[in-house]
Amino acid sequence: MQILTVDVGTGTQDIFLYDSRLDLENGFKLVVPSPTMIVHRKIKAATRRREPVLLTGVIMGGGPSGWAAEEHARAGLPVYATPEAARSFNDDLDAVRASGIRVISDDEAARLSGEVCRIELRDFDFAAISHALAQFGVQLTNLAAVAVAVFDHGNAPPDVSDRQFRFDYLDERIRQENRLSAFAYREDKIPAIMTRLQAVARSARSGSHPLPDDIPLVVMDSAPAAVLGATFDPVVARRERKLVANIGNFHTLAFRLGTRGIEGVFEHHTGLVDLPRLEKLLQDLAQGTLTHADVFDDHGHGALVYDQEPLSLQEDSFGVVITGPRRSMMRGSSLRPYFAVPFGDMMIAGCFGLLAACADLLPELGAEIRTSLLAQGSATTPWDAVD
């Protein structure tokens, strides 16, 4: 049985192909540029060629792609975008227009002629990943499911803060189902407000080489996926209560976890915190004294504490568990960080979290996935799985 897992970040997309015949350490993996970085590079190349750009497709991660589009417009070159593609940069299309991007209808886009660089936006490209694996002789012939993680702010109403809307969503999910896999959905259960997750599902089923309809698709928020994956590090797994932080390129999200599930959480913008500020946030979350205002008023998303019992960070050999691409922020911290390496690879912690979520959401696959995730120290090699 194969499960394709893809964790889409700002800098990279991390791809792990689970094969139930293999020890997880021997699964095939790719760490390649993220979709938004790919679009960024395509736009920059068009800027050098002095070509107009047309952006089509669906909502995807912004950041680098949006910055490149704005730079293209500032260079005096046209940037056209269909409405859904434009929402990759801002749900408010007037704000997109104010940045210099010309929002046009799908019909107008189809009629554009001349030398226009056409770029399709999507977070998940099943055809490209399948082709890349095939170049190494790896065929997706026994694919039982696909799981994709992205960060989704959600589509906030015009009069509601994006940050508050995002955190209200986190709070609602935890209160409904207190486990990290609560942030994962089968494609037919994705909330309407989670427009980026919805776009992943649509793009997976479209294009020249779509994901077959009979293969289940699971989508998940990327930060809980990374934290869930980090808990499979054997050192982390031995501790019942722990504080795990995913320090991402744009967002830092920390969960305090215990025997009853999620005890507390905060989410902040990574670029707005330094080491002393991050240590203070983590200490206060552990103590149960961190408030929503402490984070929200500092331009973060917020904080919630569900269990007031303090968590000591002075026991055992480490204090906090750290994962994520900017984990180096915590090097030398007084909180004695442990840098999690689930199955020997921090970069694909989110993929292991996606696997664990699939076990919860796809009961027909759950037993086999859990056997693999819990089989630390087995010795199945790629040669044992050759057909």
Q: What is the pLDDT of residues 123-161, one digit of tens each?
A: 999 999 999 999 999 999 999 999 999 999 899 998 899
Q: Which of 99, 121, 143 corresponds to the end of one domain?
A: 121
Residue at 227 is within a domain? no
Structure tokens at 45: 């190349």
Q: Which of 65, 86, 121 corresponds to the end of one domain?
A: 121
Residue at 64 is within a domain? yes
Residue at 128 is within a domain? no
**Rounded to an integer, what distance in angstroms lies between the CA atom of residue 94 and that of residue 82?**
13
Q: Is the pLDDT of residue 384 over 60?
A: no
Lookup result for tokens 């997309």: 13
Structure tokens at 288: 């149960």
pLDDT of 382: 45
Q: What is the pLDDT of residues 196-220, one digit of tens each?
A: 999 999 999 998 899 999 999 999 9
pLDDT of 207: 83
**Rounded to an integer, what distance in angstroms lies between the CA atom of residue 249 and that of residue 338?**
19
| Torsions phi, psi for 302 (to 5 deg) | 150, -175
Q: Is the pLDDT of residue 377 over 80?
A: no
CA nearest neighbour of 281 among 266, 264, 298: 266
Angle at 156 between CA 155 and CA 162, to 5 degrees: 110
**Mean residue pLDDT across the chain:** 94
Residue at 171 is within a domain? no
| DSSP bridge pairs for 302 | 267
Could you give the C-alpha distances from 207 to 13, 110, 124, 131, in angstroms and in order? 20, 17, 11, 14
Residue at 129 is within a domain? no
Residue at 316 is within a domain? yes
Residue at 348 is within a domain? no
**CATH code of the domain in which 336 resides:** 3.30.420.40
Q: What is the pLDDT of residues 289-302, one digit of tens each?
A: 999 999 999 999 99
For the chain, give the percent of residues with pLDDT over 90: 92
Residue at 261 is within a domain? yes
pLDDT confidence of 376, banded at 50, 70, 90? low
**Rounded to an integer, what distance in angstroms lies between the CA atom of residue 195 and that of residue 319?**
36
Q: Structurally, how many domains does the chain consist of?
A: 2
Quick check: 219 and 190 in contact, CB under 8 A? Answer: yes
Domain interval for residue 60 = 36-121
**CATH code of the domain in which 75 resides:** 3.40.50
**Rounded to an integer, what distance in angstroms lies between the CA atom of residue 219 and that of residue 187?**
7
pLDDT of 381: 39
**Rounded to an integer, what distance in angstroms lies between the CA atom of residue 65 and that of residue 78?**
15
**Rounded to an integer, what distance in angstroms lies between the CA atom of residue 345 and that of residue 333?**
22
SS3 30: strand
Indicate whether this model's pTM tops 0.75.
yes
Q: What is the pLDDT of residues 53-84, one digit of tens each?
A: 999 999 999 999 999 999 999 999 999 999 99
In Å, the largest CA–CA distance within the chain is 66
Q: Which of 121, 152, 177 corresponds to the end of one domain?
A: 121
Q: What is the pLDDT of residues 308-360, one digit of tens each?
A: 999 999 878 899 999 999 999 999 999 999 999 999 999 999 999 999 999 99
Q: Is the pLDDT of residue 386 over 70?
A: no
Q: Is the pLDDT of residue 227 over 90?
A: yes
Quick check: 61 and 151 in contact, CB under 8 A? Answer: yes
**Rounded to an integer, what distance in angstroms lies between the CA atom of residue 152 and that of residue 134?**
30
Strand 53-57 to 79-81 pairing: parallel
pLDDT of 159: 87
**Rounded to an integer, what distance in angstroms lies between the CA atom of residue 89 and that of residue 131?**
29
